[in-house]
Each structure stands twice: as C-alpha cells, then as structure tokens.
Amino acid sequence: MKKLRIYVDMDGVIADFDKAKNRLFKSKQGRPDLYVDYLHLDIIPGAEEAMSYLNEHHEVFIASTPPWSRIQVWADKRAWLERWFPDLKRKLILTHRKDLLIGDVLIDDSCYRGQPNFKGNWIWFGDKNYPRVIDWKDCLEIIKNMENEKI
C-alpha cells in the first residue's frame, strides 16, 4: 500500500470549533473566530482514533487557517495540537490557500479557502455540507477505499 499525503483541517474537523462558537454566540452576531478560545477547544468525536490510524499508515499534516488579526491564535493552535496530537506538532501548516498544498487528500469542513481547487481528493467534512462526509467513521471508509486503489 502506497502512503497517502493527507492534510487535515483543525477547526470543525479535529477541534470542535462549533461547540465553542455555540456556547459563546447564543445571542451574539459577528465573527466567532475573533472571540473563540482556540487553546481550549474540545476534540471532535472519533478524531483521536482516526488520526492515530492516519498517522500510522500515511503522511499526515495539519492545515489550518487562523484568524490573521489574532496572532495569539497561531500559538494556541500549535499548543492545542501538542496537547491532543503530540506526534503532529511539527506538522502544522497555517495557510489561507489550501489549493496550494500538494498531496493526495485534503479533509476540510469549509469550501472558501481554495479547497474545491485542491489537486488531490477533497473530502468535505461535517454534517452541514453537501456532498458530505458526516463524521470520522465515514471519512476513514473513504480513505481505506483510496488505500485499496493505490496498491
């Protein structure tokens, strides 16, 4: 089996940004990315097991877009990653242009940072998207099918 190069977004894919946003913005309007505490985000259910599998069998990088006006978030993302996925702490890429990444798979929950133009396979993660992959179970099924095609 050939190893795939896989990029995984943080917020909404492995870090539960929506949970923090919903707690903070029950009655507020605006951009939650300017207020959410990125350092203390919960982990998305299934992400630990899925990332363990991906990291064992493939070349995995984290590709995330911090709010550029909050410099501290850059460090918070790195610290969060070290807490939950210490093996990936040196594999963090911060970018607004995910279409510039070179690899086989991009797993991301949004479509407005170049994801649709990624040259590999873009897996649109989360239950609010269509076509969509609802959770990590579905996502791993797609990856395992790709593994079988790469033999």
Query: pLDDT tens digits, residue range 5-49?
Result: 999 999 999 999 989 888 877 656 678 888 889 999 999 999 999
Catalytic positions, please?
9, 11
Residue of 137, 138, 135 whose CA lies nearest to 127: 135
Residues 6 or more apart from 133 whose CB is under 8 A from it? Answer: 123, 124, 125, 126, 139, 142
Q: Report CA Rg, the chain.
A: 15
**Residue 135 carries which DSSP code?**
S
**Average pLDDT of 77-84?**
96
pLDDT of the residue at 134: 76
Alpha-carbon distance 141 to 131, whole Å?
15
The answer to whether the CB of 36 falls within 8 A of the CB of 30 is no
